[in-house]
Amino acid sequence: MSAVPEVKSADASMQASAISTIVLGFAADPMTRWVWPDSSEYLKVMPRFVKAFGGGAFEHGTADITEGARAAALWLPPGVAPDEAEMGAIMEETLRPEIAEDVGAVMKGMAEYHPHEPHWYLPLIAADPKWIGQGLGALLMKHALRRCDEQGIAAYLESSNPRNISLYERHGFKIIGKIQRGASPVLTPMLRPRP
């Protein structure tokens, strides 16, 4: 194993591993567990949600993983969006009625903050909890942001966990708002302006 773990693009053969890593990494995430608090349901629904939300990264060669799929980031290139129809179907099938309105308002807030200029979008980044604190998130961010800088394009994300905000800020992202409705946790939209 090299001193600095390698980041590579996850091809089709690595897709399942990358999705599993993200599912593990979001198992204690405030937003995903508010939406799916039951562990069995979370484990059943989340892989499908990951594919709908960030799966376009696999098709465009912009799903980044570290050695052993210890961490993964799904970046959507400019002009590529999450599969909103599939996300809507998942929500319709799985949402508890008492949070449906609040989830709808959070998703509306996400749409309102999403930049209109060309940008790279990071719907999902996570490390397997066993490997948290090893610098893998920073490694993935540096790898992708080099591409943004080379292209002179902004980057955008929504942080669903307050603990991750400082990581994003260290990489040039600025908080541009706050998305929260009813009992929902706070979702923090963050933009890294084009260089």
Q: Is 133 a domain residue? A: yes
The CATH number linked to 39 is: 3.40.630.30
What residue type is 139 in one-letter code? L
If you search the block for the tokens 């923090």, which residue do you land on?
A: 188
Q: Is 114 a domain residue? A: yes
Q: Is 2 a domain residue? A: no
What residue type is 190 in one-letter code? M
Q: Is 91 a domain residue? A: yes
Q: Which residues touch 25 (CB under 8 Å, ≥6 apart)? A: 71, 72, 126, 127, 128, 129, 132
Per-residue pLDDT of the chain (195 residues; tens, 9 = 90+): 446 678 999 988 899 999 999 999 999 999 999 999 999 999 999 999 999 999 999 999 999 999 999 999 999 999 999 999 999 999 999 999 999 999 999 999 999 999 999 999 999 999 999 999 999 999 999 999 999 999 999 999 999 999 999 999 999 999 999 999 999 999 999 999 988
| DSSP state letters, 62-93 | -EEEEGGGSEEEEEEPTT----HHHHHHHHHH
Q: Is 117 a domain residue? A: yes
Token pair recorded at residue 74: 């799904």
Q: Is 1 a domain residue? A: no
Q: Is 45 a domain residue? A: yes
pTM: 0.95
Q: Is 135 a domain residue? A: yes
Q: How many CB atoms lie within 10 A of CB 163?
A: 11
- For the chain, what is the domain count? 1
Q: Which domain holds residue 62?
A: 7-192
